[in-house]
Amino acid sequence: MTERPEPLAVEVTDISKRFKDVLAVDRATFQVRPGEIFGLLGPNGAGKTTTIRVLVTLLPPDSGRAAVFGLDTVKQTMAVRRLIGYVPQQLSADGSLTGWENVMLFARLYDLPRRDRKAAVAESLELMGLADARDRLVSTYSGGMVRRLELAQALINRPRLLVLDEPTIGLDPIARTEVWERVLSLRQEAGTTILLTTHYMEEADQLCDRLALMHHGQIQASGTPAELKSSLGAEATLEDVFRYYAGEHLVGEGGSFKDVRAVRRTARRLG
């Protein structure tokens, strides 16, 4: 008997979402393969967070379809939620609770069996390097520790898909490195699929297997970091790709990608 192929981790097909007069997402389509790290990039207001909220079942699309491991995010909402962990942009941990209490709250929200909760909370805190700080109030945590705590919360149900919306925004380089080390170890050990957004192009370049560039609610380009850079020339960086597809917002009036490259070549010649 022929085995059925594993479904895509994420399949977004022509989804649109409007808020009154604003078309936040406009027929966006992309796919994420099981086990990969996929980056959704774009300037502020591009539609990334709205797309993610559709994927994690917080918003229904006005049209189109989104699926997580073959499950429809609208028709099979609860089944999808059991498969995902989500770290939003805004810090969501409760500073008046300890690290242990924050993660235990999520264990209850995810309805983990009572007999398994303590072990699961301890394991999540250990995985994120927070076992020694478990009994401290979160209000005493550093920004990097709070982000790692939110990862521990998101991992309490051992999700197959981890969704991270700008998880390192506002963190210093050391804290950012700590967060990504934990995420990469999770991917390596558990094979977790990771969908992330970030404005740090070096993060996207180093971490992501594939990327999609979003602007004005539409997917403008997708591919591996190397494919996207080579499509604009041998000297292109991922930042150049971002500027090119984000258009007028970042290149400037009358500017173009060729102009950016020309300025860089001149700067190198002048030392």
Distance CA 67, CA 259 (A): 40
Q: Using alpha carbons, select from 246, 224, 257, 244 the residue that is nearest to residue 33.
A: 224
Q: Cα–Cα distance between 190 and 123 in angstroms, integer?
A: 13
Q: Is 135 helix (H, G, I), strand (E, B) or coil?
A: coil
* Tokens 């936040």 -> residue: 24
User: In whole angstroms, what is the distance from residue 186 CA to residue 127 CA?
Assistant: 8
Q: What is the pLDDT of residue 4?
A: 64
Q: How far apart are CA 175 and CA 142, in angstroms?
A: 9
Q: Where are the beta strands (DSSP E) in the chain?
A: 10-19, 22-32, 37-41, 63-68, 71-72, 84-87, 161-165, 193-197, 210-215, 218-223
How many Å apart are CA 125 and CA 81, to the nearest integer?
21
**Is the pTM higher than 0.95?**
no
DSSP H or E run through 22: strand 22-32
> What's the pLDDT score for residue 68?
97
Q: In whole numbers, what is the pLDDT of the chain averaged over residues? A: 87
Q: What is the pLDDT of residue 111?
A: 82
For 143, other C-beta atoms within 10 Å of its C-beta total 16
Write out the chain's pLDDT in tens, 271 residues. 555 677 999 999 999 999 999 999 999 999 999 999 999 999 999 999 999 999 999 999 999 999 999 999 999 999 999 999 999 887 779 999 999 999 999 999 888 899 999 999 999 999 889 999 999 999 999 988 998 999 999 989 889 999 999 988 888 888 888 888 888 888 888 889 999 999 999 999 999 999 999 999 999 999 999 999 999 988 899 999 999 988 654 443 333 444 444 434 433 443 3
Enclosing H/E stretch for 31: strand 22-32
Q: Tally Cβ neighbours within 10 Å of residue 261.
A: 16
The neighbour count for residue 243, using CB atoms within 10 Å, is: 22
Query: In this structure, what are the phi and psi dihedrals at residue 56, rounded to the nearest 5 degrees?
Result: -90, 15
CA dihedral for 99, 153, 54, 208, sign (positive or negative): positive
If DSSP codes are grouped into helix, strand and coil, which group holds residue 42?
A: coil
**199 contacts: CB under 8 Å, gap ≥ 6:** 41, 166, 169
